Structure 1
């Protein structure tokens, strides 16, 4: 019984088939984090652009 458990544990330790999935998940999480971090800057720039357009239209009328 103990030898069988040991052989199963060793075979699971050698099995690396799930490693690629974990690497892809980490890369995806890094990209998502970068996108979320950059959204504040993008939102601020868009808000400034609309404010400028709004003030230009108000002064033209």
Structure 2
């Protein structure tokens, strides 16, 4: 009977250890992938909206140049 108890206890410890594994490396990789995707999205947005933003800033600069101090 003691052998069965020891086997079950060992099995319990193994399951506990598998559930509590350190996944810090995997988390760092996931964050790296997220940062890469966000950077690509920002670059794509700036490439698409760049000319429109440039014209807005030129228009604001022109209007500010008309104001006399």
Which is higher, the Rg of structure 1 or of structure 2? Answer: 2
TM-score, with structure 2 as normaliser: 0.45
